[in-house]
Structure 1
Amino acid sequence: MAVFTVDQVRKTITNGQVKEEILKGINLSLREGEITALVGASGSGKSTLLTIAAGLQPATDGTVLFEGKNILTMSSEQVRKIRASKFGFVFQFAHLVPFLTVAEQLMLMLDVAESTLKKTEQKQEVDKILNLVGMEHRKDAYPSSLSGGEKQRVAIARAIIHQPKVLFADEPTASLDSRKSHDVMTLIRDLTKTLNITTLLVTHDEEMLSYTDHIIKMSDGRTRGQVHCPA
């Protein structure tokens, strides 16, 4: 079932008197429980596409349908609420709040998502998610004491604590060594399947593609075909 559909999305920017078309009519369909990877050279448009799909910047034209509604025509407040409650984000760097413990990072996300759970239930949910990502033993630690791989695991836990429908992952392994990269991608793959999340991944690392269900190659603002990765 397609949860997310991008239809004829275009993005044009103006630099002085020159107009540059960054995205040239992109079509994309994302399904539950699957990871779709966007790959391509720097400047191909893959990160621009991800940020438009996630409601982080507007498109010049086209539609982005999430649960049957076009987020590109919604008000900024409507999009903010969807991002907070329905989307999860993981980036190259964890961007953890330095003065909050691991558990507090996740509790903050529940507040942002306007969780209706009671505080005791929120703490139970935090424990459950930290157990899923293998970080329950570090729940009281501060970011300064965590390794790069541990920080990214916490970032992933924070991204899914509110049970999002879609996970956007923009180069989540770019700052990690090979072993930690494989650990993080294994975790993202397992959580996508276990929690039935729809994951859109941007990566330049071809070794990470083995963890995905679909690969879409981008070049000069266009998609250059889609490859299905058999299990």
Structure 2
Amino acid sequence: MGASGYGKSTLLTIAAGLQRASGGKVQFDGNNLTEMTQEEIRKIRARRFGFVFQSTHLVPFLTVEDQLMLMLDVAESKMNKREQKEEVAKVLKLVEMDHRKHAYPSSLSGGEKQRVAIARAIIHKPKILFADEPTASLDSKRSRDVMTLIRDLTKTLHITTLMVTHDEEMLPYADRSITMKDGLIV
């Protein structure tokens, strides 16, 4: 939690191994990410981390179903194609987007796009979900819906969520809140 420019997104990208820390360590699952190669970090990100951003970053020429299938490929899923399709159907049902599985991003509303982005972020059962202002581009009702979905899914699937936001209305959805100011945790 903190205002724009306070270092929240920088902290998130460092914790996720997307950006190198200028000092200190980043520990994940007994490993020090700061001592790992970029390829080792990439594999951890692909297999163990999920990401949801303010902008959904959906691939415009892929259907909703194909967005999730792509993530399973990136995560080097051990499931065969039939099992992957079944898992995609299950996760799309969880996020109430199973009826739009053949839709392309251009035909989806902002809330629907964010639901697909959340589904894509959890399809491979990550240990941590990193969420960077996931509701910033949504109206207040859709923001509440998305936060309820993230909270419920991560509790059900036992996924730790690290979210940054400047929106105090999102705090009730968190189990714990940490505030940043001027690049420091206060």
- Shorter-chain TM-score tier: over 0.9
Does residue 164 (structure 1) correspond to residue 126 (structure 2)? The answer is yes
Compare CA radii of gyration and give the structure with the larger one.
1
TM-score, with structure 1 as normaliser: 0.80
Question: RMSD of the TM alignment (CA)?
Answer: 0.5
Distance 1:58 1:160 in 2: 24
Aligned structure 1 segments of 4 or more residues deviating by more than 3 angstroms: none
2:155 match: 193
Which one-letter code corresponds to 1:52 in the other structure? I
1:93 match: 55
Larger % of helix: which? 2
Distance 1:142 1:220 in 2: 40
Residue 122 of structure 1: which of 49, 73, 84 is its match? 84
Q: What's the offset of the Cα at 1:117? A: 0.4
Q: What's the offset of the Cα at 1:91? A: 0.2
Q: What's the offset of the Cα at 1:70? A: 0.5
1:6 match: none
1:59 match: 21
Residue 116 of structure 2: which of 154, 177, 199 is its match? 154
Does residue 49 (structure 1) correspond to residue 11 (structure 2)? The answer is yes
Alignment of 1:1-231 (within 5 A): 39-224=1-186
Identity of aligned residues (%): 74
TM-score, with structure 2 as normaliser: 0.99
Structure 1, unpaired ranges of 5+: 1-38, 225-231
Distance 1:177 1:60 in 2: 36
Q: What's the offset of the Cα at 1:220? A: 1.1
CA distances 1:176-204 after superposition (whole Å, capped 9, x unpaired): 00000000000000011000101000011
Distance 1:139 1:44 in 2: 38
Larger % of strand: which? 1
Instruction: State how many pairs are aligned.
Output: 186
Q: What's the offset of the Cα at 1:60? A: 1.0
